[in-house]
Every structure is written in C-alpha cells, then in structure tokens.
Amino acid sequence: GRSTIDRATIKVEVLAESATTLASLVQNVRGALDRQSGTYSGCVVQSIDYLNEDNSFEFDDGLSNRGWYQTNQYYAVRFEPSYV
C-alpha cells in the first residue's frame, strides 16, 4: 500500500545586512522550526528536524558597496501525504 508518511527536505534562506543580525535571525528560525510537529494549513507534520546549514556573503555594488550575509538552513520534514 501507500506510505502513510512522506519525507521532504526543505531549505530556508536567511539574509541580513550584518553578520550579527544574521546570527540572531538564524537562531530564531532554528528555534521556531527544529523539533516541531503539529498541523499547519491542514498538513499534519510528524516532525521537523534540523540537518545542517551553509553560509555565504554576496557583495552588491547597488547596496552602497555593501552586501548580504546569507545562511541556508536545511530541515528534514516528515508529514502525512494529502491522500491519507
């Protein structure tokens, strides 16, 4: 039969103009998502688990010679498919 649990990996991009702001935002995003479960917009989520992250900085001439700090966070999500 069909699986009663599906799995997906999601990527959350977090951007900020300073490293300090980015660090705070990244911590808040992880705190909001990691180890969560429940029903969201009708989707039953069994678990959300933090996997890893990567960081980068992109220089942008259009930002007065500044740039963006970026962290991509990856999460594994287990959820009930819509046909269950």
29-53 residue pLDDT tens: 999 999 999 999 999 999 999 999 9
Tell me what the pLDDT averaged over the chain comes to.
Answer: 91
Rg (CA), the chain: 16
pTM: 0.84
**Nearest to residue 72, comparing CAs of 21, 5, 15?**
15
Quick one: pLDDT at residue 3? 83
Decide: 77 and 47 in contact? Cβ < 8 Å: yes
The tens digit of pLDDT for each residue in 74-84 reads 999 999 998 75
